[in-house]
């Protein structure tokens, strides 16, 4: 088996070149069409690319640090995402302890279990135990107004922002014959395919987009963008088969699966934003919005990718 | 003989200030929205809604450092003078102006605040006088803001709306929960000579509720 850090360096080299190209292109486009900084689309594009640099740098740092680094990074992402999610819920003062427990007990325990590779517990801890105990903590305050709505929102936030997101670092624990020591590349594969699908959808949508995919959910998504994005990302995934335990065909099919999940994840979380009447989940990632705006596709695809690989390759 | 202790205390205050600001950001990802004005180094009274002990910390955190250094929160001495840690934070870190909230004393309770204004400081002021735990947007303003504005009419009054911090740490809770907060700065105005007390307080209060409604509208877009 090839050396994992060598392959990782190649992958990062590739991503680095793409970012250099994107930054250069964006600088040229702004010089040409937005010299006074007034073109909103180009300014947003530039902010997005700058944020990508930061995201890639943080992922690179986490990968070099190793398992602990990846777990800390995704734990922090979960924290920031849950913070955005809870901000938009109907939770009341009576939920104060339930929310404090979600942030300061459930979230750290989930990532600790992932760190210990205790599959039997981390895959049911939030769906079963948080599900039972968080409502108990809330009910002790005896405030029944919108009770079901409040506990359901809290549970949903934990499932999306913590449980699903924690399946990205959980990929490190999969024991795939002949692939030992290379699992970090599975994370790189998942993140690159899913995120590039978002980028490809954006690019194809801007270039060819005519027919709106789901105008009342996400005004910028088009059918042309979606098809072009899914196919381009699947091709990219297939071309990355050499960093995975998959054949090129398997890599393409898995890529299609996770990009589809990712696209629907984006739509689901858009629907929640519409319901709550906001444009973005937050403002921390310049050009993109909040953490959930960037992670929506990853959280929806990570558990599915994890289980398919776990049942078929280990 | 005193200098090493003074120096150490100042260093400790500086480090504590940094840690408090970092903590506030981790907890609330707080973002300043300069809606009606820009951060400017002029003497101002930032008056805000009050729902939590963290309110002045949040405003203080989002002010640019140069302005922050010249801005002093006005706080009740009954809370901040109790215990050595609170005293250190209140005096050395935030450089608070303390006022006696218990009425009945004969001296003018606003005297130390006016003194701070005469020294050129800007202020963070909570005109409701106490933390709002009701479902109302604001409690009726106490007269303090009126007397301050009337006695120092050249100072700009800036309404500041703090959104969400009441949910982070409601009165009586010990553990804060992480939620995203914003601090929005409205359009500055000055006291117009001749305005009577109830009219002025109503205008000031309306300026703040209007700002709050703008903040809530802007989120939905």
Specify whether the CB–CB gap between A21 and A198 falls below 8 A.
no
Low-confidence ranges of chain B (pLDDT < 50): none
For chain B, how big is the Rg over CA atoms in Å? 17
The shortest C-alpha distance from B95 to chain A (Å) reads 30
Residues of B in contact with A80 (CB under 8 A): 29
Task: Choose the final residue of a domain: A154, A173, A192.
Answer: A173
The shortest C-alpha distance from A88 to chain B (Å) reads 9
Does residue A224 share a domain with residue A130? no
Determine the Cα–Cα distance for residues A70 and A188; give it in Å rounded to an integer: 11
Does residue A61 share a domain with residue A192? yes
pLDDT tens digits for A105-159?
999 999 999 999 999 999 999 999 999 999 999 999 999 999 999 999 999 999 9
- Window 55-84 of A, Cβ < 8 Å to B: 79-80, 82-84
Does residue A128 share a domain with residue A50? no
Specify whether the CB–CB gap between B157 and B190 falls below 8 A.
yes
pLDDT at A13: 95
pLDDT tens digits for A33-58?
888 878 888 888 899 999 999 999 99
Does residue A203 share a domain with residue A73? no
- Which of B140, B134, B133, B123 minimizes the C-alpha distance to B209? B140
Query: Shortest CB distance from A87 goes to which of B173, B179, B220?
Result: B179
Location of structure tokens 């009576």: A94
The shortest C-alpha distance from A299 to chain B (Å) reads 21
Q: Which chain B residue shows the shortest CA-CA distance from A283?
A: B31
**pLDDT > 80? residue A3:** no
Confidence of residue A15 (pLDDT cuts 50, 70, 90): very high
Residues of A in contact with B175 (CB under 8 A): 96-97, 100, 104
Does residue A190 share a domain with residue A41? yes
Query: Shortest CB distance from B31 goes to which of A80, A96, A283?
Result: A283
Q: Cα-Cα-Cα-Cα dihedral of B96, B101, B106, B110, to 10°? A: 40
Does residue A80 share a domain with residue A44? no
pLDDT at A134: 96
pLDDT at B84: 86
Number of domains within chain A: 2
Cβ of A103 within 8 Å of Cβ of B173? The answer is no
User: Average pLDDT, stretch A210-227?
Assistant: 89
Does residue A196 share a domain with residue A273? yes
Task: Considering only the C-alpha atoms of chain B, give the largest distance between any 2 of them, rounded to a whole number of Å.
Answer: 61
- Give yes or no for A279 touching B (CB within 8 A): yes
Query: Shortest CB distance from B219 goes to which of A91, A97, A278?
Result: A278
Q: What residues pair up with B97 in beta bridges, in sequence order?
A: B74
pLDDT at A1: 45
Does residue A305 share a domain with residue A198? yes
* CATH top class, domain B3-219: alpha beta
pLDDT at B172: 81
Task: Choose the final residue of a domain: A173, A190, A215.
Answer: A173
pLDDT at B97: 93
Cβ of B179 within 8 Å of Cβ of A86? The answer is yes
Determine the Cα–Cα distance for residues A256 and A237; give it in Å rounded to an integer: 8
- Give yes or no for A99 touching B (CB within 8 A): yes
Task: Note the helical H segments in A66-174.
Answer: 67-87, 96-101, 107-115, 119-122, 131-139, 147-157, 165-170
Query: Shortest CB distance from B177 goes to which of A80, A103, A283?
Result: A103
pLDDT at B2: 66
The answer to ipTM > 0.90 is no
Q: Tell me the percentage of chain A whose pLDDT exceeds 70.
A: 99
pLDDT tens digits for B144-191?
999 999 999 999 999 999 999 989 988 788 899 999 999 999 999 999
Does residue A142 share a domain with residue A280? no
pLDDT tens digits for A74-92?
999 999 999 999 999 998 8
Determine the Cα–Cα distance for residues A49 and A23; give it in Å rounded to an integer: 7
Does residue A305 share a domain with residue A194? yes
pLDDT at A11: 94
pLDDT at B103: 60
Q: Give the structural domain span for A34.
A: 1-65+179-314
Does residue A231 share a domain with residue A114? no
Task: Choose the final residue of a domain: A131, A147, A173.
Answer: A173
């Amino acid at each position: 088996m090839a050396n994992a850090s060598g392959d990782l360096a190649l992958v990062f080299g590739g991503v680095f070149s793409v970012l250099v190209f994107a930054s250069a292109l964006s600088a040229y486009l702004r010089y040409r069409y937005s010299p006074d900084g007034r073109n909103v689309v180009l300014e947003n594009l530039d902010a997005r690319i700058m944020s990508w640099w930061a995201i890639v740098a943080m992922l690179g740092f986490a990968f070099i640090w190793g398992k602990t680094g990846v777990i800390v990074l995704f734990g922090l992402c979960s924290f920031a995402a849950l913070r955005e999610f809870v901000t938009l819920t109907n939770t009341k003062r009576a939920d104060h302890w339930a929310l404090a427990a979600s942030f300061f007990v459930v979230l750290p325990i989930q990532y600790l279990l992932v760190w210990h590779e205790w599959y039997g517990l981390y895959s049911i801890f939030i769906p079963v135990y948080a599900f039972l105990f968080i409502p108990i903590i809330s009910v002790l305050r005896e405030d029944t107004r919108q009770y079901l709505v409040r506990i359901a929102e809290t549970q949903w936030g934990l499932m999306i922002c913590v449980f699903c997101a924690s399946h990205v670092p959980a990929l490190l624990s999969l024991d795939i014959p002949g692939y030992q020591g290379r699992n970090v590349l599975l994370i790189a594969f998942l993140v690159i395919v899913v995120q590039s699908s978002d980028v490809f959808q954006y690019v194809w949508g801007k270039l060819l987009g005519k027919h709106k995919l789901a105008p009342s959910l996400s005004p910028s998504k088009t059918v042309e963008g979606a098809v072009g994005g899914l196919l381009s990302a699947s091709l990219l995934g297939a071309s990355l088969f050499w960093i995975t335990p998959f054949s090129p065909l398997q890599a393409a099919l898995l890529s299609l699966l996770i990009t589809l999940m990712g696209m629907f994840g984006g739509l689901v979380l858009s629907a929640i934003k519409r319901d709550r009447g906001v444009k973005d989940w937050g403002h921390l990632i310049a050009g993109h919005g909040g953490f959930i705006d960037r992670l929506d596709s990853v959280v929806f695809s990570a558990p599915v990718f994890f289980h398919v690989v776990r049942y078929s390759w280990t | 003989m005193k200098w090493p202790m003074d120096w150490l205390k100042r260093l400790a205050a500086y480090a504590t200030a940094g840690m408090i600001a970092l903590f506030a950001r981790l907890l609330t990802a707080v973002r300043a929205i300069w809606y009606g004005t820009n951060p400017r180094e002029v003497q101002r009274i930032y008056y805000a809604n009050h729902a939590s002990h963290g309110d002045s910390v949040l405003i203080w955190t989002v002010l640019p450092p140069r302005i922050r250094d010249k801005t002093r929160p006005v706080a009740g001495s009954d809370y901040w003078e109790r215990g050595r840690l609170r005293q250190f934070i209140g005096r050395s870190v935030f450089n608070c102006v303390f006022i006696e909230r218990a009425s009945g004393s004969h001296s003018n309770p606003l005297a130390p605040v006016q003194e701070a204004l005469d020294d050129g400081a800007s202020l963070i002021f909570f005109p409701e006088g106490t933390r709002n735990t009701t479902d109302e947007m604001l409690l009726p303003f106490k007269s303090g803001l009126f007397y301050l504005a009337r006695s120092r009419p050249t100072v700009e009054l800036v309404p500041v709306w703090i959104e969400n911090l009441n949910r982070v740490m409601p009165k009586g809770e010990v553990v804060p929960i992480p939620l995203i907060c914003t601090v929005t700065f409205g359009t500055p105005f000055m006291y117009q000579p001749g305005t009577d007390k109830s009219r002025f307080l109503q205008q000031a209060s309306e300026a703040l509720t209007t700002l709050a409604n703008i903040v809530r509208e802007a989120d939905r877009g």
